[in-house]
Amino acid sequence: MDKGTAIGVGVTFVAVVATAVIDGVHLTALFNPAAMMLIFVGTFGAAAGSLLMEEYKTAFIGMKKAFTVAKPDASGLVDVIVKMADRARREGLLALEDMAKDIDDPLLKEGIQMTVDGTDADEIAELLDARIAAKKDHDKIAIGFLEAMGGYAPTLGVVGAVLGLIHALGNLEDVGALGGMIASAFVATMWGVLIANAAWLPMAGKLKRISHLEVANMEMIVEGVLAVQAGTSPRMVEQKLRSALPGGGQADGKDAKEAKAA
């Protein structure tokens, strides 16, 4: 699990709470049930209005994924593809059928299976590219949902402030409570701006980054499968695929030793 998003969001909220304490703001004043309901429930409703019913589950899974997903293992995929290229050169493409059964990655498994079946390279590329395009469209659902929430939350915060001011102006006779009512009116605005910029938009950014890495892995798989199908030498396959990894395939520490030994 990559903890980058959890750490970033956590640090932001800690900074806000610390700032409030330093400024002498009573934290209980920030937890206004009406304001929080407007921001969290209202924002969800507004953003959900742009989704199809069957896309709700995808959006929720995406929100969870922003905190729980692990970085895709590109180097491990390269190792598997190189082993396949080596075996295909020594024993032929049909020898890959047994190896394909043990592959976890669905795209690589499908590509190798088509290779074993003798499918034309252009057809393999076309079908696998279609899988990549579908993946991109699927990822856009959760990303768009979070971006929509990040856009609607500040606006609904302004709505909350207006409602609070209406309440305050309707009770001008109670001068002693007027200051508290006005302060309370801006709690919704605070939550709207905070949750948008400290949570929803960073989560959307994380999903974009993960999607980019996953798509890059898929594109690398397509290139690797086509290289195996064409009978390219294992050394050339490894050099070609590792050059596409972050840092040009140059890892450090343990990863560097593993890459060198592969």
What does the DSSP 8-state code read for residue 245? Answer: S
pLDDT of residue 1: 75
Q: Is the pLDDT of residue 27 over 70?
A: yes
| pLDDT, tens digit, 9 for 90 and up, residues 133-156 | 999 999 999 999 999 999 999 999
CA atoms within 13 A on the CB side of 203: 27
More confident residue, 17 or 181: 17
pLDDT of residue 254: 42
pLDDT of residue 153: 96
Helix (H, G, I), strand (E, B) or coil at 96: helix
Lowest mean pLDDT among 13-22, 68-77, 194-203: 68-77
172-198 burial by CB neighbour count: b if 16+ within 10 A, else e? eeeeeeeeebeebbbbbbbbbebbbeb
Burial class (CB in 10 A: 0-12, 13-18, 19+), 260: exposed
**Domain ranges within the chain, ordered by starting residue:** 4-70+135-205
Q: Is the pLDDT of residue 101 over 90?
A: no
Q: Is the pLDDT of residue 78 over 80?
A: yes
State the pTM of this model.
0.84
Average pLDDT taken over every residue of the chain: 88
Q: What percent of the chain has pLDDT over 90?
A: 61
